[in-house]
């Protein structure tokens, strides 16, 4: 798949909301979605962090609005989503990107409140945003939600248990919501960006990872843009890895993937 460009305006007329858009992957996705023509709503706990992103989007000819939003605050999330729908008439795309991690630590050595805070942001936050968005999308009869997940959800991670647990919970939530919403015209996906160089991965625990194990952020941008366009709606409820999967190939094999129940979370039992 090609890297998205400013000339690719395939989302013209759509309205998209991106959480945690002030840095890293969220910032990159905000620019991609705006450059593709969508009215782009960028949110973060500190709105001052979003001003320079608004300027970048405007300079490229895009449209954006910035909102202060703590994804763990149900009233604030509801109010922002309602304000967006009131202004633009609909909400077409939600990207649940806001997330936090902690330093490497064995589970019993970590502060319980710190561990639980990761669940509050990464799981409760995505839940509240999806809950608010789906109330509008299901009435519209259309919409897409993209949850930014991680391959860590598929394997035990002894020193990153808080993050791993949050991402496996997010993946299961995404599949539950996808099954519930598909008959209402809403598609939901989990996208793993791969190991991308951001503030989140600047921690010491990532310092020894070889360069060839990292994924260019452009791959995540391309996958998210393609999913936002609707070309892969048949794969709703699936887990897609930006670094390991070719989305065009997945789309071509969608019937087989669905029939064999691939790219989903399952328990292997004898």
Name residue 43's beta-bridge partners. Answer: 67
Angle subtended by helix axes 51-59 and 24-35, to nearest 10 = 30
Residues with a catalytic annotation lie at 163
Of 65, 62, 70, 73, nearest in space to 37 by CA: 62
Interatomic CA distance for residues 16 and 5, integer angstroms: 17
Interatomic CA distance for residues 10 and 256, integer angstroms: 28
Instruction: Give kind and range of the element (H or E) at residue 95.
Output: strand 93-96
Q: What is the SS3 assignment for 100?
A: coil
User: Do residues 55 and 30 lie in contact, with contact meaning Cβ atoms separated by under 8 Å?
Assistant: no
Residues with Cβ within 8 Å of 78's Cβ and at least 6 positions away in sequence, in order, are 128, 132
């Amino acid at each position: 798949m090609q890297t998205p460009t400013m000339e690719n305006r395939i989302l013209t007329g759509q309205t998209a909301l991106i959480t945690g858009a002030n840095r890293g992957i969220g910032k990159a996705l905000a620019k991609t979605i705006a450059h593709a023509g969508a009215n782009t709503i960028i949110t973060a706990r500190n709105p001052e962090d979003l001003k320079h992103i608004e300027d970048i989007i405007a300079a490229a000819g895009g449209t954006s609005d910035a909102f202060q939003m703590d994804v763990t605050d149900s009233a604030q999330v509801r109010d922002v989503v309602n304000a967006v729908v009131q202004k633009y008439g609909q909400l077409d795309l939600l990207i649940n990107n806001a997330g936090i991690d902690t330093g490497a630590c064995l589970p019993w050595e970590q502060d319980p409140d710190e561990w639980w805070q990761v669940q509050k942001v990464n799981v409760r936050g995505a839940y509240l945003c999806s809950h608010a968005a789906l109330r509008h999308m299901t009435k519209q009869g259309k919409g897409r939600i993209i949850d930014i997940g991680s391959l860590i959800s598929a394997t035990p991670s002894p020193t990153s248990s808080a993050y791993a647990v949050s991402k496996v919970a997010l993946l299961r939530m995404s599949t539950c919501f996808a099954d519930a919403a598909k008959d209402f015209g809403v598609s939901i996906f989990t996208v793993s960006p791969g190991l991308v160089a951001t503030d989140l991965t600047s921690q010491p625990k990532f310092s020894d990872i070889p360069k060839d194990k990292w994924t260019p952020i452009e791959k995540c941008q391309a996958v998210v843009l393609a999913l936002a366009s609707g070309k892969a709606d048949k794969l709703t409820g699936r887990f897609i890895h930006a670094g390991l999967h070719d989305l065009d190939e997945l789309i071509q094999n969608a019937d087989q993937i669905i029939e064999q129940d691939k790219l989903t979370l399952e328990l292997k039992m004898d």
